A and B are shown apart, each in its own frame.
Chain A
Amino acid sequence: MEKILFKYIDFPEQYRIDTYIKNGGYRGLPKALEELSPVQIIETVKKSGLRGRGGAGFPTGLKWGFVPKDSQKPKFLLCNADEGEPGTFKDRSLIENNPHQLIEGMIIASYAIGAHKAFIYIRGEFAFGAKRLSEAIGECYKNGYLGKNILGSGFDLDLDVYRGAGAYVCGEETSLMESIEGERANPRLKPPFPASVGLYKNPTVINNVETLSNISHIVLNGGEWFANIGMPKSTGTKIFSLSGHVNKPGNYELPMGITVRELIFEHGGGIKDDRKLKAVIPGGVSTPILTPASLDVKMDFESLYEAGSLLGSGATIVMDETSCIVKAAYRISKFFEHESCGKCVPCREGTRWIRLILERIENGKGREEDIELLRDICTNIIAKTVCPLGDAAAVPIMSSIEKFRDEYEYHIKNKKCMVDLGTRFV
Chain B
Amino acid sequence: MVTLTIDGKQIIVEEGTTILKAAEKLGIEIPTFCYHDQLETVGACRMCLVEVEKIPKLQVACATVVSEGMVVRTDSPQVVNARKGVLEFLLINHPLDCPVCDKGGECELQNLVFKYGSDKSRFVEGKRRYIVDPKSKYDDLAIGPHIIRNMNRCIQCRKCVRFINEIAGEDDLGTFKRGSKTEINILPDIPIDNPYSGNVTEICPVGALTSKSFRYKIRVWQTEAIPTVCPQCADGCNIRIWKKDERIYRITSRRNDEVDEGFLCDKGRFGFDFVNHPDRLKNPLIKKNGKLSEAPWDETIKFVTSSFMKIKGETGSDSLAGVGSGKVTNEDNYLFQKFFRSVIGTNNIDHRVDSKNLLPSPDTQIRNKYFGMKNTINQIANSKLILVLGCDLEKEHPIINLRVIKARRKGSSILVANPVSTRLNRFAQNGLLYKQRTETDFLNGVLREIIETKQYDNAKSGFSSSEIEDLRRKVSSSDSLKALQTTGIGAENIKSFVNALVKAESIIILCGAEIISNPKNVEIINSLYDLIRLTGHQDKDNSGVNLLWKHSNSQGTLDCGILPDRLPGYVRISGKPGLNFNLMLEAVNQGKIKAMYIMGSDPLSEYPDREYVKSTLGKLEILLVQDILITETAKIANVILPGASFAEKEGTFTNVEGRVQKLNKAFDPLADSKADGQIICLLAQAMGHEFEYRTPKDIFKELTGVSPIYSGMDWETLGLSKKQGKVK
Contacts and interface: CB of A to CB of B under 8 A. Distances in A.
Contact of B179 (A338, A353, A356, A380): A338
25 contacts: A169-B178, A184-B178, A337-B179, A338-B179, A339-B178, A340-B179, A341-B179, A341-B182, A342-B156, A342-B182, A343-B42, A343-B44, A345-B47, A346-B86, A348-B180, A349-B92, A349-B180, A352-B93, A353-B89, A353-B123, A373-B122, A380-B81, A380-B89, A384-B49, A386-B43
A397 to B, nearest CB: 16
B89 A349 contact: yes
A341 B178 contact: yes
Interface string A344-376: 111011111100110010000001000001001
Interface string B145-168: 000000000011000000000000
B125 A356 contact: yes
B602 interface: no
Contacts of A342: 156, 175, 177-182
B182 A348 contact: yes
Contacts of A360: 125
A340 B89 CA distance: 14
A338 B46 CA distance: 21
Provide the main secondary structure of the chain B interface.
loop
B180 A384 contact: no
Contact of B42 (A189, A356, A367, A373): A189
A107 interface: no
Contacts of B156: 342-343, 345, 348
Contacts of A196: none
B41 interface: yes
A299 B409 CA distance: 50
Interface in A165-201: 167, 169, 184, 189
B399 interface: no
Given A340-B178, A348-B182, A353-B125, A383 B93 contact: no
Contacts of A353: 89, 92, 123, 125
Given A373-B122, A384-B58, A386-B44, A346 B85 contact: yes
Given A342-B179, A352-B180, A383 B155 contact: no
Contacts of B177: 342
Contacts of B44: 343-345, 386
Nearest to A385: B46
B63 interface: yes
Contacts of B179: 337-342, 348, 351-352
Most buried by A among B41, B46, B90, B179: B179
A386 B49 CA distance: 11
A344 B46 contact: yes
A167 B180 contact: no
Contacts of A167: 178
A4 B81 CA distance: 49
Given A342-B180, A344-B45, A384-B49, 13 more contacts: A189-B63, A340-B178, A342-B177, A345-B45, A345-B156, A346-B46, A346-B89, A352-B128, A352-B180, A353-B123, A360-B125, A384-B86, A385-B46
Contacts of B182: 341-342, 348
Contacts of B63: 189
Nearest to B126: A356
A380 B125 contact: no
B60 interface: yes
Contacts of A383: 56-58
B489 interface: no
B207 to A, nearest CB: 18
B88 interface: yes
A339 B181 CA distance: 11
A380 B85 contact: yes
Interface in B36-65: 41-47, 49, 56-58, 60, 63
A304 to B, nearest CB: 19
Contacts of B126: 356
B125 A357 contact: yes
Contact of A345 (B46, B58, B175): B46
A73 to B, nearest CB: 15
Contacts of A341: 178-179, 182
Contacts of B46: 344-346, 384-386
B718 interface: no
Most buried by B among A169, A342, A350, A373: A342
B82 interface: yes
A349 B60 contact: no
B387 to A, nearest CB: 28
Contacts of A343: 42, 44, 156
Contacts of B58: 383-384
Contacts of A344: 43-46
Contacts of B57: 383-384
A114 to B, nearest CB: 25
Contacts of B123: 353
A383 B85 CA distance: 12
A32 to B, nearest CB: 37
Most buried by B among A345, A346, A348: A345
B86 A345 contact: yes
A352 B92 CA distance: 10
A380 to B, nearest CB: 3
Contacts of A338: 179
B82 A380 contact: yes
A339 to B, nearest CB: 7
B89 A345 contact: yes
Contacts of A169: 178
Contacts of A348: 89, 156, 179-180, 182
Nearest to B87: A345
A350 B89 CA distance: 7
Interface string A366-410: 010000010010011001111000000000000000000000000
Contacts of B41: 189
A294 to B, nearest CB: 24
Most buried by A among B46, B89, B177: B89
Contacts of B89: 345-346, 348-350, 353, 380
A379 B85 CA distance: 9
Interface in B198-212: none
Nearest to B33: A345
A188 B175 CA distance: 16
Contacts of A189: 41-43, 60, 63
A340 B123 CA distance: 20
Nearest to A336: B179
A161 B518 CA distance: 56
Most buried by B among A353, A357, A376: A353
Nearest to B175: A184
Given A384-B82, A384-B85, A349 B90 contact: yes
B178 A337 contact: no
B93 A349 contact: yes
Interface in B118-141: 122-126, 128
Most buried by B among A343, A349, A379, A384: A349
B263 to A, nearest CB: 24
Nearest to B47: A345
Nearest to A343: B44
A260 to B, nearest CB: 28
B165 to A, nearest CB: 10
Given A342-B156, A360-B125, A380-B82, A351 B45 contact: no
A340 B180 contact: yes
A348 B175 CA distance: 14
Contacts of B43: 189, 344, 386
A360 B47 CA distance: 29
Nearest to A169: B178
A351 B85 contact: no
Nearest to A389: B179
Interface string B85-126: 110111011000000000000000000000000000011111
Contacts of B180: 337, 340, 342, 348-349, 351-352
A351 B128 CA distance: 13
